Amino acid sequence: MKGDPGVIQQLNLCLKDQLTSINQLFLHARMSKDWGLEEFNEHEYKDSIKAMKFADKIIERILFLEALPNLQDLGKLLIGEDVAEIVKGDLDMLMGLRSNMVETMKVCEDARDYISRDILEHMLEEVEEQIDWRETQQWLIENTGLQNYLQSQTGDE
């Protein structure tokens, strides 16, 4: 089924965001694992896999709309050098990703592509949960102290 060109362009932008976030979250997961922070690693890893599933949904939708999903483009990775920077980098990345999603939903609504909008809406809920988790970590770092926070993220191997 032929899709609206404006919607497709926006969906490709969302795809680029997801592809970028897969890599950023995955590298952060394995960096924290290397530091012995098993629980933090687990969380970042799961979010990275989730981003891959989101990318898949967008790719399938673009193909259904008889257009080409662009997997060449990748945004800039915001890689942190310590845990506080990692959380900040993820938060900045997710906020940017979210605002592109919201913008895309508006374009879908205007073009009456309600199904693309619905797909994004499901993702949006999870993205906001991911944002919330990072904000919670920032609060915890500030209020329990960095060393205590890191201790709570060591977990078992």
Partner 1 sequence: MKGNKKVLKHLQKLLNGELGARDQYFAHSRMYKDWGLNKLYERINHEMEEETEHADMLIERMLFLECEPDFNQQDKARVGKTVPEMLKNDLDVEYEVVDALKAAIKVCEDEQDYDTREILVKLLDDTEMDHAYWLEKQLGLIDRIGIKNYLQSQM
Between CA 135 and CA 140, with CA 138 as vertex, the angle to 5 degrees is: 110
Number of residues that bind partner 1 (CB under 8 A): 8
26 part of the interface to partner 1, by CB under 8 A: no
List binders of partner 1 among 33-72 (CB under 8 A).
Answer: 34-36
Closest separation in Å from C-beta 33 to partner 1: 9
Distance CA 87, CA 137 (A): 7
Decide: is 144 part of the binding site for partner 1 (CB under 8 A).
no
Q: How far is the CB of 151 from partner 1 (least distance, A)?
A: 4
Length of the chain: 157
Interaction of residue 99 with partner 1, rule CB under 8 A? no
Tell me the closest approach of the beta carbon of residue 134 to partner 1, in angstroms: 19
Phi first, then psi: give them for residue 36, nearest 5 degrees: 85, 10
Q: Note the helical H segments in 38-153.
A: 38-64, 83-110, 114-144, 146-152
Q: Helices 38-64 and 5-34, interaxial angle, to 10°?
A: 160
Span from 44-52, 70-78, 101-109, 147-155 in contact with partner 1 (CB under 8 A): 147-155
Q: Which is nearer to partner 1, 26 or 35 (CB)?
A: 35
Closer residue to partner 1, CB minimum distance, 74 or 146: 146
Q: For partner 1, which residue of 39, 46, 53, 151 counts as binding (CB under 8 A)?
A: 151
79: how many CB neighbours lie within 10 A of its CB? 14
Residue whose CB is less far from partner 1, 125 or 157: 157
Taking the C-alpha atoms of residue 45 and residue 29, their distance in angstroms, rounded to an integer, is 5
Are 80 and 89 contacting, i.e. CB atoms less than 8 angstroms apart? yes
Applying CB under 8 A, which residues contact partner 1?
34-36, 147-148, 150-151, 154
